[in-house]
Every structure is written in structure tokens, then in C-alpha cells.
Structure 1
Amino acid sequence: MTNTKTITFIGAGSMAEALISGMTKTLYKPEQIIVTNRSNKERLEYIQNTYHVRVEADKEKAVKEADIIILAMKPKDVAEGITSIAQAIDKHQLIISVLAGVSTETIISLIGKNVPIVRAMPNTSAAIGQSATALALGRYANDKHLAIAKELFRTVGAVTVVPEEDLHAVTALSGSGPAYIYYMVEAMEKAAEEIGLEQSVAKDLILQTIIGAAEMLKSSKKHPSVLRKEVTSPGGTTEAGIKVLEDYRYQEAVISCIKRAAKRSAELGQSLLQLVKTHR
């Protein structure tokens, strides 16, 4: 059954598009979704033509029509983007933020009203209904608001609820996570080319290998290290490959990558908070 709520997206970037793509395949009709952005008319036209949703150049009008407002603008546009619609926001509307690093308290300060906010950290796999999304409640949000957010994000994948302070870690792990996997696949494709495999053959093998490994991790109760060792015969090809990864400190690199992303999420949040305090 289709939900009757109207959703307005403030921002039309890759995350907004991924959510729109997933949502219009399941619970929401295109006409229930309104999209607006700062000034990129070409981007709005693309979104409208691709997903048949409504677009609106007048941000205040788009906000006033909404039951749910999803904040999805670029990090550099957050302060200006939120303050530009603050007057149009009503305390009975639900604000959902997919802004990396930006706390609910910062958003409340920018809006200047005691509005219910749910922070969400999905990833771009939402476009195919396979997102891993974490939700956290702001000060004025309650279980009813959480239920609405859960329903919305379950249309694009799996949902978990965490304390807000954990969202920096979530952002680094699953929010940015698809990019780490894509980066690994880039390397595997380059390696395949260098050892003489045709691109189409290599791509099919790589994709099925990743899908199979993910399914094994999902269905097996064994620790990843155990599954790895089961593939690694002494003196064999896998052991030789793993030894090179160890020499390059592969695990350390991945751990450092995720820690740095989490730190950057915190930095983004702090820089915006300082900007808000400066302009009060």
C-alpha cells in the first residue's frame, strides 16, 4: 500500500537520487516526492525526467507542502541551505537529515525551532534497495518519528538504530563503505587486465566472487578469519596472494581508512557547529 505522506528533498545530489530511486520503486509514488536544490536547474530537470517526481525552484513552497523534509544538500551548503528554509518549517513536520557529520543540535540551532529530527546515514546502494542505514533520534523526536523513518528507509534496504554519537563511526564504515569496495574492484580489474583476462570475463568473475563472499559471510556463523583460512591452503596460490597483502599492510590500511573517515565526519560537524556559533 502506498504511503500518503509528501516528502521534500532539499538537495538533489547522488544520495538524494539513490533514495528517490529506491523509494519510488516501493512505497512512494513519484508525485509524492518534491525535489529542490540551491540553483542547479539542469540537475532538477534530470531528476524529474528520470524519476517523474515533482521539482520546485521555490524552496519555501517545496518545504511548506511537505510532511517529511529530507536534508541532503552538499556539506558546503548546509548552513545557508537550512537557514534559507527555516522560516517555512513547521514544528509538526519531520526533518530527516542525511548530512554526514552534522548533529541534530546543530540543525535545531540553524532552524531556530524545536523540531523533531531523525538523523540517517544510508549509503548509495539505496538506489537498488540494498542500503545499510543507521538512524538516530534528535532531542525532540519520539518513537512515532522513528517509526516513520524506519518505514521510509526500509524501502531502500536494512535499517538499524544507534545513539547519535555512533553516527561518525557508521558514516565511515557503511556510509562510505561502498566506495572502498568499488576501489578494490578497480584494482582487481586492473590486475585482471595485466594478467591477460578479457574485461568482460574479469568483470563477471569479480562480481560473482564478491556476491558469493558476501553471501557466505551472511549465511555462515564462522568468523571472517576462519572463512579466509579455509580458502588458504599452505603453499598455495591464495597464501601467496595474502602474503603480498600482509607485506603491504592491507588490513592496517583499511583500518586507517575507516578511522580517518570517522575523524573527518567529526571534523565536518565541528566546523559547522563553530560556524553556527559565530553567526548567532
Structure 2
Amino acid sequence: MLSSSGVQSGIGALQLCFYGAGSMAEAIVRGILDRGLTEPEQIGVINRQNASRLEELAERYGVQAPADEEAKLAMLRQADVIFLAMKPKDAAAAIKQLRHLVSSDTLIVSVIAGLPIRTIEVLLEQPMAIVRTMPNTSSTIGLGATGISFSSSVTVEQSSLAQTIFQAVGLTSVVEEPLLDVVTGVSGSGPAYVYYLMEGMIAAGRELGLSEEAARELTVQTVLGAAHMVKATNENPADLRRKVTSPNGTTQAAIETLDEHHFSQAIVRAVDRAAKRAAELGAEIERNATL
């Protein structure tokens, strides 16, 4: 099992098991392998019943993906690092199953929105080294943003290991656990806000006469360029906005229209609602933990 010396010897010496085989699990697997952090045979992926999905991942990445129940249990028992990547509604029952399969040396990494560390410990019936994370879907192309928090049992080496893994799929930011719900609202759900904006821009371009292709290409490049501009200049987005907003110009007319519809306030309320929903999901899992 995972010890300080095991971590120091490198990720490649560890057995990794993903409990859940969805898009986020796949993104992390691909990132780890693309960065050469370990070999496919060191990675296992399991789920409850979708054998075809396991076969797909085994064929695509060369990872271990057993469909047999006994083999799944053996993989969990032998894992140094277990990633909790199941759906929130399945989390309580799945984590309870781990109670007799993990040891004090096992590192638990959760990517489940809203699930507090304390609830994982309640479900496992013991204090554990637990890394709680909130990645986003851009991790699938290596441009993710992941918030990370640690239980008190996590060692410096284990913290470094977790950050190395998630840096394989993008940027990481270590925050206090109560703020992870805010991370969920800002960056976890954030890509969808940008896609929603892009939907509107494409629709507007099309309705005003542009072809679908032109509206899409111009919108995509505009969003890409704006994001790169903020990153490259390190300037505040508000300052960059003011620089391109000439008095009585086209941009000012557009911004004033957005202000009339309370655009900024709507974004704040959306982030707040997403953060609160993450907390609600965690509370639901916590209630299930007592059943």
C-alpha cells in the first residue's frame, strides 16, 4: 500500500484504481499516460455494471478493466490510490463497499462534486488520507482547472502526488475545503457558462445574416483570443474590457445592453447557485451515509 517512501519512488510504482469510468476518469487516465507518469498496466478502471464501457477504455488505453466482480474487489484491495469517480447518487453505497478493502495507507482521491471529506470518512468508518478535488470538463483536453483540498492525514508527499496527477490535465489550485463548493461554481460548472455565451453569440450572428460556419468560427476564435489575452497580459479582465470600449462606440452600446439585462449580476447569482447546489448534493450523500 501507499507509504511516504512509495510516493517518493514515483507514481509509476503505484497501483491506481478509478472507481467510476466516466469522462472525468478517462480524462485523468489520458493525462497521466500522455505525461508518461506511469504505464497502462498500473491503472485499473471499474464501474458497477457497464462492461462495454470498461472494454472501450481497456482497448483505447491498455488499462486493466475487469468486468468480473471478484477481480474488481481484488483491484480495489491492491490499489495504492483509489479515485472516487462515480455518480453522486451512487457514491454512498459504493464508498461503503470500500470499508473492508482499504487500509490506512490507501490514498483516496475524490472527484465527486459536493462530497465532504468528513462524509467519506464516515462512510469508510475511519480517518483516511483523502484528497478532495473539483476538476472541470476542460480536463479532457489537458486544459482543466482543478481545486484541491486535503484531509489532515494527507502527507506532504501524498499532496505532491495528487497535484502532479491533476497537473497532468491542467492547472491546480489548493484551497481550504469549504471553498471547494465555490470552486465548483466558478470553474467546475464554469465551462458551461462560456458555452452558453457562445451559443448566444452564434445564434445572434446567424439571425443577423452570417452563415452558421462563419458565426461559429468567429465566436470560437473570439473567445479563444480573449482568454489568451487575459493570460498573456496578466491584466484584469475589467481593464481589458475598458481598453476596447470606446466612448459612444459599438462595444459600449453592447455592454450597456448587457447591463440593462443585469448580465454581471446574473453570473454572480449563477455561480452562487451552483456552489449551493454542490453543498446540497454533499448533504444528500451525507444523509444516505446514515441509512
Q: TM-score range by the shorter chain?
A: over 0.9
| Structure 1 residue aligned with 2:245 | 232
- Tell whether the 8 Å contact from 1:2 to 1:29 is kept in structure 2 after alignment: no
Pair 1:158 & 2:168 matched? no
2:43 paired with 1:33: yes
Distance 1:215 1:178 in 2: 15
Q: Kindly provide the amino acid, as one letter, of the partner of residue 142 in structure 1.
A: T
Cα distance, 1:235 vs structure 2: 2.1
Q: Distance in 1 between matches of 2:57 and 2:202?
A: 31
1:83 maps to a residue whose letter is K
1:160 match: secondary structure: strand
Using CA pairs under 8 Å that are at least 6 residues apart, name the structure with larger relative contact order, 1 or 2: 2
**Secondary structure of the structure 2 residue equivalent to 1:192:** helix
Which residue, 20, 23, 29 being the options, matches 1:20?
29
Check conservation: 2:134, 2:180, Cα contact below 8 A.
yes
Q: Which residue of 1 aligns with 2:116?
A: 103
Please give the alpha-carbon distance, in whole angstroms, between the structure 1 residues aligned to 2:211 and 2:33. 37
SS state of the match for residue 105, structure 2? coil
Q: Supply the distance in 1 between the matched residues of 2:151 and 2:136 (Cα, whole angstroms).
A: 20
- Tell me if structure 1 keeps the 8 A contact 2:80–2:106: yes
- Any idea what SS the aligned residue of 1:54 has? coil
Q: CA deviation at 1:221?
A: 4.2
By how many angstroms is 1:211 displaced?
Answer: 1.6
Q: Indicate the residue corresponding to 1:174 in structure 2.
A: 187
Distance 1:51 1:194 in 2: 43
1:181-260 alignment to 2 at 5 Å?
181-260=194-273
- Give the equivalent residue in structure 1 for 2:144: 131
1:92 and 2:105 aligned: yes
Query: Could you say what secondary structure the match of 1:258 adopts?
Result: helix
TM-superposition CA deviations, 1:215-263 (whole Å, max 9, x none): 2211324322221111111222212221221121111111110000000
Select 2:127's aligned residue among 84, 90, 114: 114
Distance 2:231 2:244 in 1: 17
Q: SS of the counterpart of 2:231?
A: helix
User: Is 1:51 aligned with 2:61?
Assistant: yes
Gap regions ≥5 residues in structure 1: none
2:11–2:161 Cα contact (<8 Å) kept: no
Q: Which amino acid in structure 2 is aligned with residue 36 of structure 1? A: I
- Superposed CA RMSD in Å reads 1.7
Distance 1:195 1:31, change over 3 A: farther
Distance 1:182 1:52 in 2: 33
| Displacement after TM superposition at 1:173 (Å) | 0.8
SS for the counterpart of 1:235 is coil
Unaligned runs of 5+ in 2: 1-9
> Does the aligned pair in 2 maintain the 1:193–1:199 contact within 8 Å?
yes
2:47–2:54 contact (8 Å) kept in structure 1? yes
Match of 2:13 in 1: 4
Q: Secondary structure at the match of 2:103?
A: coil
Aligned length: 278
> Over residues 58-87 of structure 1, what are the superposed CA-to-partner deviations in whole Å (9 max), with x where a residue is unaligned?
331221231110001001000011112221
Following superposition, the deviation at residue 37 of structure 1 comes to 0.7
More moved, 160-169 vs 22-31: 22-31
- 1:275 alignment counterpart: 288
Q: Which moved more, 1:61-70 or 1:193-202?
A: 193-202
* Cα deviation digits, residues 166-195 of structure 1 (max 9, x gap): 111111111111111112112222122112
Q: How far apart are 1:2 and its partner, in Å?
A: 7.2
Query: Displacement, 1:13?
Result: 1.4
Q: For 1:37 and 1:221, how far apart are their aligned partners in 2?
A: 42
Cα deviation code 1:12-56 (max 9, x no counterpart): 112112212222211233222111011111222222233332212
Question: After superposition, what is the alpha-carbon deviation per residue over 1:101-148, rounded to whole angstroms, capped at 9, x for unaligned?
Answer: 111111011112222111111112112211111111113212121011
Contact 2:89 2:285 in 1 (8 A): no
SS of the aligned residue for 1:203 comes to: helix
Distance 1:233 1:99, change over 3 A: same
